[in-house]
Structures are given as structure tokens and as C-alpha cells.
């Protein structure tokens, strides 16, 4: 009987070992991928964390105040906040701009929220698809590190953010403007040179 228990224990230990060995490369690979993104970003790790916190604070404040009556996205890159989406009136537009501008660590805001009806889910899904196409074309063109440019799409308008060299910005804008489905390109870059 103790031999059977010993055999089961050995089999369980071997199985656990195999499972753990199979998981470790996945964990390491995920960790390395995340580290690669952080390492290639021109913002410091602290600024990246600040940008995430800024986006969360604005989203929470807007959601608490306006709920489902608005569709607003806040994207922060190096303390520069881009506001996109739709609101019902000028007062709400101004209020949301003020929320963003007075959020800690925000250096400047670019308020491109539209006043009008909220976009349907189908339009938002199309915007996500356009963003994916633009990012894929950046990688395919291989003219700059795709991680240096953040892409945000709203109502077919593509916003490009990042800390770039002038040629990188020009290349990103050109690639984006020739991507199918893109209505217009707006750059919100900070330039290194």
C-alpha cells in the first residue's frame, strides 16, 4: 500500500514539475515582453505610471459626474492629455476639459470631444479596427519603433501621440493618412529635435 502511495506521490510530483516547467517560460516571456515595452518607451517608468494614474483619475471623475450620458476617453502621454468622445452640450464639454486640466500631473490638454449624440458601438468597433491597422502598418514600414507612437482613433479621426523625432512624426502621419478608413490625422507630438 505504501508503495502505491509512494508511486502516486512520485507521479504527482513529476506532473507538477512538468506543469511548472511549462508555465515558467510563459511567465518569463510575458515578463520579458512587458519589460521590452517599458525599455523602448521614451518616457521614464515613473512618467508611464503617472500617465496611467491620470487616465484613471479623469475617467473615474467623469464617470462619477456624468455616467452614461457621455462617452469620453482620456489618453495621457507624458502628462499631455487628449480628450476624445462625445458630450451632449457645451457646458459638459467645458466641465470635462476643466476636470482634465486640474488633474494632478497634467501638463496640458487637447480637448477634441465632440458635442452631439454618442457614437454607436459599431463606430467604436470600427475605430478600434482602424487603430489596429495603423499600428500594424507602423510595424510593417519599420521606419521607427512603433512603441514610440500612441494611436487613438475616434469617429475615424486618428490622433498620434508620443515623444518623437521630427522625421518619425512625419513618417507616422504619412503612414496613418494612407491607411484605409482614416478620415483625418491629428498629431499631438512632443519633438526631440
| Model confidence pLDDT, tens digit, residues 147-175 | 999 999 999 999 999 999 999 999 999 99
pLDDT of residue 15: 42
pLDDT at 8 over 90: no
Q: Write out the three cell numbers for 164.
A: 518623437
pLDDT of residue 193: 78
E runs forming strands in the chain = 71-77, 80-87, 108-111, 114-115, 150-154, 157-164, 184-191
Spatial neighbors of 189 by CB under 8 A, at least 6 apart, are 160, 161, 162, 163, 164, 169
Helices 90-101 and 45-66, packing angle to 10 deg: 150
Q: Write out the three cell numbers for 62.
A: 467623469
- Average pLDDT of the chain, as a whole number: 87
pLDDT of residue 48: 97
The pLDDT-based confidence of 182 (bands split at 50, 70, 90) is very high
Nearest to 152 by CA among 172, 122, 168: 172
Q: Which residue has the higher pLDDT, 143 or 27?
A: 143
β-pairing, 184-191 vs 157-164, is: parallel
Reduce the DSSP state of residue 95 to 3 states and report it. Answer: helix
pLDDT of residue 40: 82
In tens, the pLDDT along 46-57 reads 999 999 999 999
In tens, the pLDDT along 103-154 reads 999 999 999 999 999 999 999 999 999 999 999 999 999 999 999 999 999 9
97 burial (CB, 10 Å; 0-12 / 13-18 / 19+) is middle
The pLDDT-based confidence of 37 (bands split at 50, 70, 90) is low
DSSP β-bridge partners for residue 76: 81
Amino acid at each position: 500500500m505504501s508503495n502505491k502511495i509512494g508511486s502516486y506521490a512520485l507521479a504527482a510530483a513529476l506532473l507538477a514539475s512538468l506543469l511548472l516547467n511549462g508555465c515558467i517560460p510563459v511567465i518569463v516571456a510575458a515578463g520579458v515582453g512587458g519589460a521590452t515595452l517599458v525599455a523602448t518607451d521614451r518616457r521614464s517608468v515613473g512618467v508611464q505610471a503617472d500617465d496611467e494614474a491620470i487616465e484613471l483619475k479623469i475617467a473615474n471623475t467623469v464617470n462619477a459626474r456624468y455616467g452614461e450620458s457621455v462617452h469620453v476617453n482620456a489618453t495621457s502621454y507624458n502628462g499631455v492629455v487628449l480628450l476624445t468622445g462625445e458630450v451632449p452640450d457645451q457646458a459638459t464639454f467645458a466641465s470635462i476639459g476643466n476636470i482634465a486640466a486640474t488633474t494632478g500631473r497634467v501638463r496640458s490638454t487637447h480637448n477634441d470631444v465632440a458635442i452631439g449624440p454618442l457614437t454607436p458601438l459599431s463606430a467604436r468597433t470600427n475605430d478600434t479596427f482602424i487603430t489596429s491597422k495603423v499600428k500594424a502598418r507602423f510595424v510593417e514600414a519599420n521606419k521607427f519603433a512603433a512603441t514610440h507612437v500612441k494611436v487613438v482613433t475616434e469617429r475615424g479621426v486618428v490622433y498620434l501621440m508620443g515623444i518623437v523625432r521630427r522625421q518619425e512624426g512625419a513618417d507616422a502621419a504619412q503612414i496613418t493618412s494612407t491607411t484605409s478608413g482614416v478620415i483625418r490625422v491629428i498629431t499631438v507630438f512632443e519633438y526631440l529635435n
